[in-house]
């Protein structure tokens, strides 16, 4: 009887270990779609004993340099693929090309201690925080060096003869980070503020291959770069004359995943559910079904962009409530999915997709 009980206990322990390993793998996979800052926030809440099943709005103020990188050429590539390929084949080829273009850009951001906050189609919003780099000057230098390396990267598609090339804007200053929404447990992390506004305005002045930096960034980077002023009193970065940073964010992210070993199975389940609430449901379903990579998915859909104006960046309650009003209205329609919320110099924007297949 004792040997039988021991065998049952060992079998139960083995099953628990397998379950724990599977949940940790799912949390790690879902984390690939989230900013490091959001992952860290969830981990800290779990470590402090907060009930992750009861999320709430949250606002944080911090200083950072912001990098806005946009890739030119995807529209032309998509149009050529649409002519040359069947719809299903064209979407897979385009998905592959997007991945090939964005992956090295993300690696550059990580190398220089940055954190990718949002993907907006073929564009990247990344931040380089004072918390990571020690001061705003170092953060601005890291963002500028990363931007220059990104614009040096080219991707040529032999099938369509289209060359993809980036251009970037960099700003530095204060930021506000919001955890907002929550209707049907769908949350968004959004940044807004001085640093982001500068990066967006700088990017608008950039042509293919350009890095445009704000005056705030220039005052920090003047000693390690060559730049010429633009007509709107920004600066076109022409050369980096000194480097010597990097590697911090990548190492820190890997160390962060080691903390999953500290959590019990119930906490891990709550952690997965809490993190997944920041990601569009089709992506969560793909991860939950065991897909290790996000594949191209052809769907017939309509898209809607909702612009919210007149909101004050430091009034988190108003921002939160405005997004919730939109969510409540949109979720009355079958097939509605919130793709992302992005703030810019003109307000807050919500992108929605409506599918029926």
Element (H, E) at 64: strand 58-72
Closest CA to 74 of 119, 111, 33, 127: 119
**Spatial distance between the Cα atoms of 241 and 16, rounded to a whole number of angstroms:** 55
Band of the pLDDT at 246, cuts 50, 70, 90?
A: very low
**Spatial distance between the Cα atoms of 74 and 119, rounded to a whole number of angstroms:** 14
Instruction: Enter the tokens of residue 209.
Output: 């291959």
Residues 139-155, mean pLDDT to the nearest whole number = 90
**Per-residue pLDDT for 160 more than 80?**
no
Residue 88 near residue 357, CB atoms below 8 Å:
no
162-181 and 336-344 strand pairing = unpaired
**Spatial distance between the Cα atoms of 109 and 221, rounded to a whole number of angstroms:** 17
Residues 241-254, mean pLDDT to the nearest whole number = 54
**Per-residue pLDDT for 307 more than 60?**
yes
| H-helix segments, the chain | 2-31, 36-47, 74-84, 87-111, 130-133, 136-151, 194-204, 215-221, 248-257, 265-276, 281-288, 316-330
**Per-residue pLDDT for 145 more than 80?**
yes
More confident residue, 171 or 208: 171
Q: What percent of the chain has pLDDT over 70?
A: 85
pLDDT (0 to 100) of residue 3: 53
**Per-residue pLDDT for 1 more than 60?**
no
Band of the pLDDT at 60, cuts 50, 70, 90?
A: very high
pLDDT (0 to 100) of residue 253: 54
Instruction: Enter the tokens of residue 226.
Output: 């060559």
**Per-residue pLDDT for 243 more than 60?**
no
DSSP 27-58: HHHHHTTS-HHHHHHHHHHHHTT--TTS---E
pLDDT (0 to 100) of residue 140: 95
Q: Which residues contact 338 (CB under 8 A, 6 or more apart)?
A: 181, 186, 188, 280, 327, 330, 350, 351, 352
pLDDT (0 to 100) of residue 98: 75
Q: At 207, is the secondary structure helix, strand, or coil? A: coil
pLDDT (0 to 100) of residue 250: 47
Residue 234 near residue 215, CB atoms below 8 Å:
yes
**Spatial distance between the Cα atoms of 200 and 193, rounded to a whole number of angstroms:** 11
**Per-residue pLDDT for 19 more than 80?**
yes
How big is the chain, counted in residues?
Answer: 357
Beta-bridge partners for 225: 240
Residues 238-249, mean pLDDT to the nearest whole number = 64
Instruction: Enter the tokens of residue 325.
Output: 């009003």
Closest CA to 136 of 178, 175, 190, 176: 175
Task: Compute CA 266 distance to the chain's CA centroid, rounded to the nearest angstrom.
Answer: 27
Instruction: Enter the tokens of residue 344.
Output: 């810019």
**Which pLDDT tens digit goes with each residue over 174-204?**
999 999 999 999 999 999 999 999 999 999 9
More confident residue, 85 or 53: 53
Residue 202 near residue 68, CB atoms below 8 Å:
yes
Band of the pLDDT at 116, cuts 50, 70, 90?
A: very high
Whole-number mean pLDDT of the chain? Answer: 85
**Which pLDDT tens digit goes with each residue over 98-111?**
777 788 899 999 99
Band of the pLDDT at 326, cuts 50, 70, 90?
A: very high
Band of the pLDDT at 158, cuts 50, 70, 90?
A: low
Residues 343-356, mean pLDDT to the nearest whole number = 84
Q: At 18, is the secondary structure helix, strand, or coil? A: helix
Q: What percent of the chain has pLDDT over 90?
A: 52
Closest CA to 357 of 298, 304, 295: 298
pLDDT (0 to 100) of residue 185: 93
More confident residue, 28 or 9: 28
**Which pLDDT tens digit goes with each residue over 264-302?**
999 999 999 999 999 988 788 777 776 655 556 667 789
Band of the pLDDT at 249, cuts 50, 70, 90?
A: very low
Q: At 193, is the secondary structure helix, strand, or coil? A: coil
Q: At 154, is the secondary structure helix, strand, or coil? A: strand
Name the maximum alpha-carbon separation found in the chain. Answer: 86
């Amino acid at each position: 009887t004792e040997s039988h009980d021991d065998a049952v206990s060992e079998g139960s322990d083995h099953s628990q270990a397998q379950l724990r390993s599977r949940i940790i793998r799912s949390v790690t996979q879902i984390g690939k779609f989230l900013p490091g800052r959001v992952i860290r926030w969830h981990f800290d809440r779990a470590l402090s004993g907060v009930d992750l099943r009861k999320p709430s709005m949250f606002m944080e103020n911090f200083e950072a340099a912001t990098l806005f990188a946009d890739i030119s050429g995807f529209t032309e590539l998509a149009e050529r693929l649409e002519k040359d390929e069947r719809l299903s084949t064209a979407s897979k080829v385009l998905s592959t090309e997007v991945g090939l273009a964005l992956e090295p850009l993300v690696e550059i951001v990580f190398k220089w201690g940055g954190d990718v906050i949002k993907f907006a189609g073929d564009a990247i919003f990344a931040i380089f925080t004072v918390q990571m780099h020690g001061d705003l000057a170092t953060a601005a230098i890291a963002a500028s060096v990363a931007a220059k390396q990104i614009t040096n990267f080219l991707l040529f598609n032999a099938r369509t003869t289209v060359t993809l090339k980036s251009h970037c804007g960099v700003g530095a200053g204060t930021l506000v980070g919001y955890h907002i929404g929550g209707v049907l447990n769908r949350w968004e992390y959004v940044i807004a503020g001085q640093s982001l506004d500068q990066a967006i305005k700088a990017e608008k002045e950039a042509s293919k291959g350009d890095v445009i930096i704000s005056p705030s960034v220039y005052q920090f980077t003047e000693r390690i770069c060559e730049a010429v002023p633009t007509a709107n009193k920004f600066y076109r970065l022409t050369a980096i004359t000194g480097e010597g940073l990097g590697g911090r964010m990548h190492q820190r992210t890997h160390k962060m995943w080691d903390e999953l070993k500290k959590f019990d199975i119930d906490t891990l389940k709550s952690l997965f559910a809490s993190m997944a609430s920041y990601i569009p449901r089709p992506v969560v379903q793909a991860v939950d079904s065991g897909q290790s990579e996000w594949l191209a998915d052809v769907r017939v859909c309509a898209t809607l962009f909702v612009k919210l104006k007149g909101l004050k960046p430091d009034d988190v309650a108003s921002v939160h409530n405005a997004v919730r009003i939109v969510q409540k209205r949109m979720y009355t329609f079958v097939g509605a999915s919130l793709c992302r919320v992005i703030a810019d110099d003109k307000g807050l924007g919500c992108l929605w997709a409506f599918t029926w297949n």
